[in-house]
Every structure is written in structure tokens, then in C-alpha cells.
Amino acid sequence: MTATTLSSSFVKEAAAAVGFDACGIAVAAPLTEEEWSYDEWLHNGYHADMAYMEQHRDLRRDPALLLPGAKSVISLLVGYKPSSLMQGTARIAQYAYGEDYHERIKRMLFQLIAAIRQQYPDFEAKPCVDTVPISDKQWARRAGLGWIGRNTLLVNPILGSYCNIAELVTTSPADRYDTPIENGCGDCRACADACPNCALTFSRNPLLNANRCA
């Protein structure tokens, strides 16, 4: 039985009510090498000692392998900028400061699922927040939430690259899908020029050489 078509505006309003800063919906069609360059990244050995990145390539490309019958990927962002709250001299990644974002966003995802099911009882979804092999940045890009910057991160027009990404892969189609937005980096190379080890390289798409990443 075909799942009920979701109202895109309803889903986005529900996501905002739960606390997500941005929401977009993309068609759950497999990612292509042209838009992703994942095989090229692996072939060049840019994944360094992260051998696990060689696993589950098909799963990373095709959300229908994560949830059979997948029709849509609901991509969600939660912004962070906690540097003003940091104390002492410890140097840690800003996304890791405070409560574990995996646990916090997982709760939000289940709250969103519950909210959507109030309107669509047959809603089925697989929540993803760094817990399954899915390309978060690429799905956020496809859902119109930003572009892939020269720093290889998703750049949202409002949040910048300071955001955590999560998804709901669902068997429900949507009445309206979002599309990628224009890349806003232009000719800017500030991030690449600032990298002391020249870890950012450029091919068809921006690539990070983890062997050079400090």
C-alpha cells in the first residue's frame, strides 16, 4: 500500500516546533559520483586510516537500501555556536561542547516522528544522526539546505557550517520537494588558504585529504 503523501509545509512546521533550525525534503534517488566524488576520494586514499569509510558504499548512496521503499529524505539542521560559552583553555571541537548532540538530536527526531504521525498515522521513517551509513551533507545539499563549501562542509546561508545534520528516511512521498541552491563560495579560497597542511584539494568537487588534516 502506498503511503500517504506528506504536506511539505506541515513537516517543516513540525520540525521547527520540535527545535530544528532548518528542514528540507529531497527525493530519495541514489546519489551519483558526479555530485559526490566519493569513489574518487577513496581511490586517492584521502580517507587515511578510516578504513570503515570503504564499507557500505551502496548504503551511503541509496537510502532505499536503508529503508526499503524509501521515497523521501527529510533533512534537518541544528545549529551550534557555543564558543562564547566555553571556559578555560581546553581546545575541543565546538560541535562536541555540551551535551552529546547524537542523544539530543535523536530525541528530537523521535519527537518529530510522533508529531508527523498525529497527522499521518501510516508515516514510517528511519531516523539517522551519525548512526547509519548515509551521506548527511549530500542529502542536506539536495534538500536545499546549503551547498558544499570548499572546506567540504555543508554551508547553510544562515548557520554557515556550524550545524549538525540529521535525516528521516521515509517511505512517504511529499507534495513538494526542495532542490539544491546555488553554491555561494564563488572564487573564495579563504578556508583552503588558511589550512596550514593544505588538506583541502579541488577536483570535480571539494575533497578533504585526511592524511594532511591535523
Mind listing the pLDDT tens digit for each residue in 151-186? Answer: 999 999 999 999 999 999 999 999 999 999 999 998
**Burial of 52 from C-beta contacts in 10 A (0-12 / 13-18 / 19+):** exposed
- Structural domain boundaries in the chain: 8-208
Q: What's the average model confidence in pLDDT over 193-208?
A: 89
> Strand 154-155 to strand 147-148: parallel, antiparallel, or no bridges (unpaired)?
antiparallel
Determine the pLDDT at residue 82.
56
Q: Which of 39, 62, 100, 130 is catalytic?
A: 130
Residue in 209, 131, 180 with CA at minimum distance from that of residue 32:
180
- C-alpha to C-alpha distances, 132 to 52, 66, 90, 210, nearest whole angstrom: 12, 8, 30, 21
d(C-alpha 200, C-alpha 44), whole Å? 13
Nearest to 145 by CA among 133, 157, 136: 157
Grid coordinates representing 130? 551519525
Q: What are the tens digits of pLDDT across the range 51-103? A: 999 999 999 999 999 999 999 999 999 998 755 555 555 555 555 555 668 89
Using alpha carbons only, give the angle 65, 22, 95 rounded to the nearest 5 degrees.
Answer: 85
User: Can you give the pLDDT at residue 214?
Assistant: 75
**130 is a catalytic site residue:** yes
Classify residue 86 as left (phi > 0), alpha (psi -120 to 50) or beta. beta
Residue 131's pLDDT band (cuts 50, 70, 90): confident
Q: What is the pLDDT of residue 182?
A: 94
